[in-house]
Amino acid sequence: MEAHVSPRKKEIKEKLVSLLKEYPVVGIVDMESLPASTLQEMRAKLRGKAVLFMAKKRLISLAFNEVEGEKPGVSRLADYYHGMPALLLTRENPFRIARILRESRTPAHARPGQIAPDDIIVKAGPTSFPPGPIISELSSIGLKTGVEGGKVAIKEDKVVVKAGEPVPPKVAEVLARLDIKPVELGLTLWAVYEDGIIYERSLLEVDEQAYRDQLAQAAREAFLVALGSGMMLPETASLLLTRAARDAFLLGVQQAILTGETLPFILLKAERAAHSLAERIGQAA
C-alpha cells in the first residue's frame, strides 16, 4: 500500500501519525462547506486547546491503522467520516471541546445536497403568506396546510429530511422561503476516541442543563428514600433526630411518661380530663 503513496502524501501521513501519537484524544469533524471566515474563528477559539488537521480520508485511515497498536480501536473512527473529514486532536476533556464547538455554531439555511446532521422538522403554525401558489409549494414537500386568519398555516409538524440524508433542492427552497435555518455553521464533532472508547455525537451533544437537572432530581429522590427508610447520613441526620425527638415526645405524652418535657402537657391533659369528668358528673346529678 505504501508504494502507491506519493512523497507528499507520505509526509502528510507521517505528520498524522505523529499527531495521533502525541495527543490522547482524537476527534472526527466535518469541515464540508465551512466558510473560511468561520474556520478561522474556530481555529482561534481552539488555539491552545486543540489542533485541527485536514487530510484525505485514505491518508487518515492509513495513519489510524499505523497507530492501532498504541491506540487500540482508533481505526473505528473511520466509521464516522462525514463530508470533508478532518482530525481534531487535543488533551482536553472531549465533552469540554464538544461544548466549545457547539456554542460556536450559527444558524444557517440548508443548501441543496447538504447532509442533514439532525432531522429537519417544519413545525405546525402560521406563516406570513396569503393563500396562493405557496400552498402548492408547501404541499410539494409533504406539508399539510390550511388558511387561518387570512394567512396560510401549516397544520402538522413534519420531518422533511431525516438525519444523515441529503437535503433535496425543493426542500431547501421551501425552507428558505419559510426562513427556517435548520443547520448550523461550524464544526460538527461526529465522534471522539479516548482510552479505547469512542464517544459518538449523540453522547457528546448532551444537554448539560438537562443533565444537571436529572442529577439534582436523582439527589432529591435519594434524599427522600434515605429519609423515609431512616438511613442515618450527614444529609439526613438532623431531620431524623428531629423526627425521633418529636415521636418520642408524642409517645411520652400519650403514655403519660413523666419527663421534664412531657410533664406540663401530661398535667394539662389530666386537668382537661378532670374538668370533663366533673361536667359529666354534674349533668348526671
190 and 178 within one domain: no
Q: What is the pLDDT of residues 141-151, one digit of tens each?
A: 999 999 998 99
236 and 190 within one domain: no
197 and 100 within one domain: yes
How confident is the prediction for the chain on average, in pLDDT?
Answer: 88
- Name which residue leads in pLDDT, 12 or 4: 12
Cell of 85: 473529514
196 and 57 within one domain: yes
pLDDT of residue 88: 95
236 and 128 within one domain: no
Q: Is the pLDDT of residue 246 over 80?
A: yes
99 and 40 within one domain: yes
Q: Where in the sequence is the domain holding 233, given as residue range(s)?
A: 213-284
What's the CA gap between 173 and 83, in Å, rounded?
22
What's the CA gap between 104 and 144, in Å, rounded?
34
Mean pLDDT of 102-109: 85
The DSSP secondary-structure symbol of 83 reads S
Mean pLDDT of 121-130: 94
CB 233 within 8 A of CB 243: no
Tally of domains within the chain: 3
70 and 200 within one domain: yes
Residue 115 falls inside a structural domain: no
pLDDT of residue 285: 62
Residue 158 falls inside a structural domain: yes
Q: Is the pLDDT of residue 1 over 50?
A: no
Q: Which of 92-106, 152-166, 219-233 has the highest mean pLDDT?
A: 152-166
- Name which residue leads in pLDDT, 280 or 168: 168
pLDDT of residue 5: 61
pLDDT of residue 4: 59
Residue 277 falls inside a structural domain: yes
28 and 91 within one domain: yes
82 and 8 within one domain: yes
Percent of the chain surpassing pLDDT 90: 47
CB burial class (10 A; 0-12, 13-18, 19+) of residue 77?
buried
Tell me the CA end-to-end span of the chain in Å, nearest whole number: 119
pLDDT of residue 43: 85
Q: Grid coordinates 486547546 are at which residue?
A: 49
Q: Is the pLDDT of residue 281 over 50?
A: yes
Strand, coil or helix: what is 189? strand
Q: Is the pLDDT of residue 256 over 90?
A: no
Q: Predicted confidence band at 112 (pLDDT cuts at 50, 70, 90)?
A: very high
Handedness of CA 114, 27, 57, 39 (dihedral sign): positive
Q: What CATH number does residue 124 fall under?
A: 3.90.105.20
Q: Predicted confidence band at 273 (pLDDT cuts at 50, 70, 90)?
A: confident
